[in-house]
Amino acid sequence: MAVGEASAKESKSSSYITRLRKGYEKFGIIAILIGITVLMSILSDRFLSSANIINIIRQVSFIAMIALGSTAIIITKGIDLSPGSIVGITSVVVATYAHPGQHSLIVVLLIGLGVGTIVGLVNGTLIAKTGIPPFIVTMGMWTTARGLALLFSDGRPISNLSPNFIFLGAGDVLGIPVPIIILVVVAILAHLLLNNTRLGRHIYAVGGNEQAAIISGINVNRVKIFVYAFAGFLASLSAIMLTARIYSGQPGLGVGFELDAIAAAVIGGTSLSGGVGTVTGTIAGALVVGVINNGMDLMGVSMYWQQITKGGIIVLAVFLDMKKHRVKA
């Protein structure tokens, strides 16, 4: 009887721990975001002002857009180091064609989005068809695209942009900045793609077990090419908004964005082991990074310490992810 009671207690405890772990996986990042927000509001009386909150979300929208693409790639057990450079090349290209009276806005958008999509297609095709590791391919593109941005612009900023174009980054609708509106629309579409389409199921399947995906008839190469093209598209969309926001095309724009995007995805629960990741988690992860950066700015913390803090957060997030998957195994 005593043995049975002990066994029942152990089973109940195990069940409780399992429920707690699942609850953390679903809502842990939200709890962390709320906790950090409360902490920053205590440390700075300017943090919770409506103007500052809007500013945080607007700044986060540029990174979050890229992070959504990184999420799809990491789910397939890939990695992309090129988004920051895609931002740079897209920025100078769209700025070149966005002068007043030169081209219609739709033409400028098609050109800019085409740049990022093509770069992503090149990444995905090389990874899928040659077997070269994603880290190597995208690191090469990271350098190549940045060099092309400098070559295209002769290393100089390109200004004199049309008002219609500037509206995409600096305008607002009913008091809501346009970049935030665009991010919400893209996030909804990305969520539907990953959770309500056959392609989305294939993306998770490839990351969960690539060999099993091949056996089940999934075109793994096509999935890989798609996610990198998708990420390139979103990086170029972010570049368009950011170029409009700063009123000029900059060949150096986007430096370090790839690390911020990966950080947002991993902090938001996307597993580097593949097969796991959500849009809501990535958005929350991007907000965590944005809130920390903004709070430290308000407190006058040195940029150097901000970089150190961000690096520590990334390492901690990866460690927790590894530990979680080790426990499951």
- List, for residues 97-155, the tens digit of each pLDDT value: 999 988 999 999 999 999 999 999 999 999 999 999 999 999 999 999 999 999 999 99
Q: Cα separation of 123 and 25, whole Å?
A: 31
**pLDDT recorded at residue 307:** 80
The sign of the CA dihedral 143, 106, 224, 181 is positive
State residue 151 phi and psi, 5-degree precision: -70, -45
**pLDDT recorded at residue 329:** 45
Confidence tier at 179 by pLDDT (50, 70, 90): very high
The residues spanned by each domain of the chain are: 47-328
For residue 272, give the 3-state DSSP assignment.
coil
Q: Cα separation of 205 and 202, whole Å?
A: 5
Above 60 in pLDDT, residue 229?
yes
Q: Name the nearest CA neighbour of 309 among 286, 292, 290, 284.
A: 292
User: For domain 47-328, which architecture applies?
Assistant: Orthogonal Bundle (1.10)
Above 60 in pLDDT, residue 180?
yes
Confidence tier at 22 by pLDDT (50, 70, 90): low
**pLDDT recorded at residue 82:** 96
b/e per residue 201-225 (b: at least 16 CB within 10 A): ebbbbbbbebeebeeeebebeebbb
* pTM for this model (two decimals): 0.88
**pLDDT recorded at residue 306:** 79
Average pLDDT, the chain: 89
- List, for residues 73-100, the tens digit of each pLDDT value: 999 999 999 999 999 999 999 999 999 9
Beta strand spans in the chain (E): 172-173, 176-177
Based on its alpha-carbon atoms, the radius of gyration of the chain, rounded to whole angstroms, reads 21
